[in-house]
Structure 1
Amino acid sequence: MKKWLIPFYILVAAVIFTGCRKELDRININPNEPTVPEPEYLLANGIKSNVDTYWGSDATMETSLLYVQYWAKIQYPDPDRYIPASTNIQNVWNNFYAQGITDFTTLIQLGDSLKQPGYKATGIIMRSWIFQVLTDLYGDIPYTQAGKIETYLTPKYDSQKVVYNGLLAELKEAVAIIDANPTASVAGDSLLLGNMQGWKKFANGLRSRIALRIADRDAITAKKVFDELAAEGNIFFKEGDRDARLNYLTSPSQNPVGKNRETRNDYRISKTVIDYLQAYNDPRLPVYAAKPADGGPYLGVTNGLTADSASRLGFSKTSDVGSVFTVSQAPAPLFTYPEQLFILAEAAQRGLYNGDAAELYKAAIRASFKQYGITGNPVDDYLNQGSVKYDPANYKKLIGEQKWLALFSEGIEAFTEWRRLDYPQLKPAYTGVLSGKIPVRFTYPSSEQALNGVNYKAAVARQGADLLTTKVWFDVY
């Protein structure tokens, strides 16, 4: 009989413990805390946090804005000499993967489970934009297994070709969802204010952007993308539309550039930009740059000066970046109407899109000027210059330089387009440490070597050495 006493008492204890645990679980539930996130709050937070990363110090001010020579360092110049801090590289990767990919993957799932297709479509588009930025910067990245931490704790890296093709398919799916659900809507949308046709145009803009990314490697697929867009009616951003643009507010919802300027000012406008604007008699010069505080003409700073040389130039004797781009409420564009026109102009020149390349090129320049309230004769005079007039035989130089000027302040996109088109022809930083070369990618963060070493090594073996000077797949020339 005794041999049954222990199991009996254990059973009784187990029943009591289970009952107590259930009661504790019930008591510990916070009735004011939702167990399922609200999609509008997830969308709102996802947009703000990821645009902050895109426009923040790590991805722009300390890296891409310097590499593409929009800005230069007047103090602490190591990043301008191509010595990035490891935290810059780590933060971009971590923030986009841990916040962006995770949040928007959840939003896509919520759109399905709650039967709210608008959130699914916007989640796909925003996640695709983040993946596009990541592969533009790093090359091969975790994609097909990313955002699935329950299944893939150490996701494999996909080739850049696989990533771009996957994104094209996902963006096409998002457009189809919007078309199939004409009454779909979203709340919490600070980017396009709940306008689902605006989201469709953003998705199509990204499709056309990616098509040009791959055009030098896979012209057949690039043509197919533009043919599909044409068959769908070429629904792109047009004049008067709201761009895919986050309008920042005052603190604590200010632009990351404005927030940075509240406590420090390590930057000046690059001499390279000043030289180009002056050579073209460009009326955007007083928008892009401020005159030195001590007076005198515009004076940009050479990229990559030593600390001593930069300090001798002085803060008050050199030109800062224009306040349009540095105030707390400066807007942060992700995709604009002028960029769309430049894409279509190049696509037309390449035979990928049915349009007049010269007219689209001129329209793109006009649209860029109009963003800053510049219209009429100054724009006509600019376009009539021999160095600006469209020449099909020299389209890469003309589109490359004018697009670079139009994308001013959009460091990551300009850095990517400069690598693709090879214009403008920039000189390496004065005391750069890359043997006369300019960075053409970000290196992978050290955490990947430690935590995802097998997949990291496979990516490096396929893509090339994990260096700032190793070209990514799309960068052919």
Structure 2
Amino acid sequence: MMKHLIYIILLGIFLSSCTKNFEETNTNPNGTPTALPQQLLAPALVSTLSYNMLRNRNFNNELMQVTVNISDAEGQVFRYDFRSTWADYLYNGLYSELTNFKDIYTSASDELNYNKSYMGISLICQSWIYSILTDTYGDIPYFQSNLAKDSGIYEPRFDAQRDIYSDIFKKLDTANTLLSAGTAINASSDPVYNGDVAKWRKFGNSLYLRLLLRVSAKSDSAVLKIKDIVETNKGNYPIMTSNSESAILRWTGVGPYSSPYLSVREQDFRSPGIASFFIDNLAQWNDPRIDIPTYGTNGFNRWGIAPYSGSYQGIPSGYAPGENPVKKCYFYSNTSAVSLMTEPMTGMMMNYAELQFILAEAAAKGWISGSAETYYNTGALNSITQWIPTWPVSITTWLAAADIEWLNDETLDQKMEKIHRQKYYALFLTDMQQWFEYRRTGHPYLPKGAGLRNDGVMPARMTYPVYVQSTNPTNYKLAIASQGPDEISTQVWWQKP
């Protein structure tokens, strides 16, 4: 029994569905024996985004040249050199939240609490979380995960990523059908859309397109499904149509809705410098998101980046030990000024601009009709106006001035670089999506420093948590025998040639 309990704790398959800061949801002896969907949804969303945001900050941003830690120590992520202990946090956290979202589905399926919308939202959130897990680690426990409490499965098998994606698509189709009924939910239970079920449906179908594109190189049926959603059967698959429909949990600073960035010490938050790649593009384009005259408050810009001597200068990523670059720009951390620590929109799940760049790629590759240029321009515009709604400049004028306008006679690779360089900024703060998309496409082109490890190749995955080798040894060995060595260089299914 003790062995089984250890498995439950370590594998993130928890007996309780409680979440940090929401303990009374399942432990109040005067409440219902099983938590209701409206009690579980908000805490599960808050906790999931907390895991995503903290790993975005110190893992994704370091790999993808948003920030650079100033250190010559071993295990620096920006040098493609990270310890196996990095794996535990996201793996444990997201599996624990899957328990909560599965409990939402179970409760909403009950005759007394029956609610199609909560069921659909649960399936969307499960798909969102499982996709992050499998894109981070590769083959993972899926069909047998989170079943310790109900089925006594303490050593779940690892499923092939191909099969995981196939089932995720089934979940998203089912969610679309469930949400089409428009069953009302408690607005106060929903910190993302305030109870607007139609927007949840649009998010689910937009997420569907993100994931179909992710596996498009491995699946002709995924390409056909993209066309089905966007054109053939679009009336049955509504997708986001504006920034107002972006899936963002906006931190209010009240009660549980305080940004997880506030848990980071201010000196640690501003410790990494801004990478040259991230800041140089914005400066070269005169991008309003860092343009002080356009959006200046106390000397800082929309993203709370502190300028250096009146200009924006970054640190080359991947620098070799001993080069000792000087930190110039960084994300400001004073919570009384403009800062990402208190920014309401950092709870990013998926935004409208990302969807437009998905459509731009699909159109450029001839999978859907419509103008790739129009999708590209709309994506670039909304990536900016999401942060600066009153930006007065014509997007075509701005793109031309920055020398990044769409040109139909360019090669497909040149078009992909343009799309993904803009998409890189649209994905800012969105869990590990920048890293996933770079691994899928090789875009945007990132400069390579002399200090990179892993033969200078972007890591293809995180390794599994070390404890999995001892708590689930048989299935761990089967997983690496199928997928490849448990190393950062082993490519996941959708990334393999």
What range describes the TM-score normalised by the shorter chain of this pair?
0.7 to 0.9
The separation in 1 between residues aligned to 2:229 and 2:241, in whole angstroms, is 19
Are 1:345 and 1:357, in contact at CA under 8 Å, matched by a contact in 2? yes
Structure 2 vs 1, CA of residues 194 and 299 (structure 1 numbering), >3 Å: closer, same or farther? Answer: same
Structure 2 vs 1, CA of residues 240 and 401 (structure 1 numbering), >3 Å: closer, same or farther? Answer: closer
2:381 is the counterpart of 1:366: yes
> 2:66 is matched with which residue: 63, 70, 73?
70
Look up the match of 2:471: 451
Are 2:117 and 2:182, in contact at CA under 8 Å, matched by a contact in 1? no
Structure 2 vs 1, CA of residues 76 and 176 (structure 1 numbering), >3 Å: closer, same or farther? Answer: farther
The separation in 2 between residues aligned to 1:63 and 1:376, in whole angstroms, is 35
Structure 2 vs 1, CA of residues 199 and 411 (structure 1 numbering), >3 Å: closer, same or farther? Answer: closer
Are 1:397 and 1:424, in contact at CA under 8 Å, matched by a contact in 2? yes
Are 2:230 and 2:368, in contact at CA under 8 Å, matched by a contact in 1? no
| Cα drift, residue 327 of structure 1 | 2.3
Partner secondary structure for residue 425 of structure 2: helix
The separation in 2 between residues aligned to 1:137 and 1:30, in whole angstroms, is 36
Structure 2 vs 1, CA of residues 30 and 147 (structure 1 numbering), >3 Å: closer, same or farther? Answer: closer
> 1:326 is matched with which residue: 340, 353, 357?
340
Residue type at the aligned position of 1:366: L
Gapped regions of structure 1 (runs ≥ 5): 1-28
Are 2:416 and 2:443, in contact at CA under 8 Å, matched by a contact in 1? yes
The separation in 1 between residues aligned to 2:330 and 2:477, in whole angstroms, is 42
Look up the match of 2:356: 341
The separation in 1 between residues aligned to 2:193 and 2:137, in whole angstroms, is 28
Look up the match of 2:214: 213
TM-score, L = length of structure 2:
0.82
Mean CA deviation greater in 260-269 or 235-244: 260-269
Kindly provide the CA deviation profile for residues 197-236 of structure 1, in whole angstroms up to 9, marking residues without a partner as x. 0110110011111110111111233212431454141411
| Cα drift, residue 125 of structure 1 | 0.8
The separation in 2 between residues aligned to 1:240 and 1:407, in whole angstroms, is 14
Look up the match of 2:317: 303
Are 1:190 and 1:246, in contact at CA under 8 Å, matched by a contact in 2? yes
Look up the match of 1:389: 406
Q: How does 1:134-145 map to 2 (within 5 A)?
A: 134-145=133-144
Identity %: 28
Figure out how many residues of one structure are paired with residues of the other and give that number. Answer: 440
The separation in 1 between residues aligned to 2:56 and 2:289, in whole angstroms, is 21
Look up the match of 2:161: 160
Residue type at the aligned position of 1:313: V
Look up the match of 1:24: none
Residue type at the aligned position of 1:61: R
Are 2:321 and 2:451, in contact at CA under 8 Å, matched by a contact in 1? no
2:259 is the counterpart of 1:255: yes
Structure 2 vs 1, CA of residues 160 and 390 (structure 1 numbering), >3 Å: closer, same or farther? Answer: farther
Look up the match of 2:10: none
The separation in 2 between residues aligned to 1:450 and 1:43, in whole angstroms, is 33
Residue type at the aligned position of 1:250: G
Structure 2 vs 1, CA of residues 303 and 256 (structure 1 numbering), >3 Å: closer, same or farther? Answer: farther
2:109 is the counterpart of 1:109: no
List structure 1 runs of 4+ shifted beyond 6 angstroms.
none
Partner secondary structure for residue 427 of structure 1: coil
Q: More helix per residue: 1 or 2?
A: 1
Are 2:105 and 2:122, in contact at CA under 8 Å, matched by a contact in 1? yes
Residue type at the aligned position of 1:48: V
Structure 2 vs 1, CA of residues 429 and 194 (structure 1 numbering), >3 Å: closer, same or farther? Answer: farther
Look up the match of 1:313: 326
Are 2:199 and 2:245, in contact at CA under 8 Å, matched by a contact in 1? yes
Look up the match of 1:271: 276
Are 1:261 and 1:326, in contact at CA under 8 Å, matched by a contact in 2? no
Partner secondary structure for residue 328 of structure 1: coil
Structure 2 vs 1, CA of residues 75 and 186 (structure 1 numbering), >3 Å: closer, same or farther? Answer: farther
Look up the match of 1:464: 484
Structure 2 vs 1, CA of residues 380 and 438 (structure 1 numbering), >3 Å: closer, same or farther? Answer: same
Partner secondary structure for residue 245 of structure 1: strand
> 2:249 is matched with which residue: 246, 251, 260?
246
Structure 2 vs 1, CA of residues 432 and 257 (structure 1 numbering), >3 Å: closer, same or farther? Answer: farther
Partner secondary structure for residue 377 of structure 1: coil
Mean CA deviation greater in 269-278 or 356-365: 269-278
Residue type at the aligned position of 1:34: T
Look up the match of 1:19: none
Look up the match of 2:41: 43
The separation in 2 between residues aligned to 1:237 and 1:30, in whole angstroms, is 38
Are 1:43 and 1:189, in contact at CA under 8 Å, matched by a contact in 2? yes
Partner secondary structure for residue 334 of structure 1: strand
The separation in 2 between residues aligned to 1:325 and 1:344, in whole angstroms, is 32
Are 2:37 and 2:107, in contact at CA under 8 Å, matched by a contact in 1? yes
TM-score, L = length of structure 1:
0.85
| Cα drift, residue 74 of structure 1 | 2.6
Structure 2 vs 1, CA of residues 405 and 223 (structure 1 numbering), >3 Å: closer, same or farther? Answer: same
- Quote the RMSD (CA, aligned, Å): 2.5
The separation in 1 between residues aligned to 2:493 and 2:305, in whole angstroms, is 38
2:370 is the counterpart of 1:352: no
The separation in 1 between residues aligned to 2:164 and 2:361, in whole angstroms, is 23
Partner secondary structure for residue 183 of structure 1: coil
The separation in 2 between residues aligned to 1:303 and 1:430, in whole angstroms, is 9
The separation in 1 between residues aligned to 2:472 and 2:141, in whole angstroms, is 10
The separation in 2 between residues aligned to 1:398 and 1:466, in whole angstroms, is 34
| Cα drift, residue 266 of structure 1 | 2.3
Mean CA deviation greater in 164-173 or 83-92: 83-92
| Cα drift, residue 445 of structure 1 | 0.9
| Cα drift, residue 322 of structure 1 | 6.1
| Cα drift, residue 375 of structure 1 | 3.1
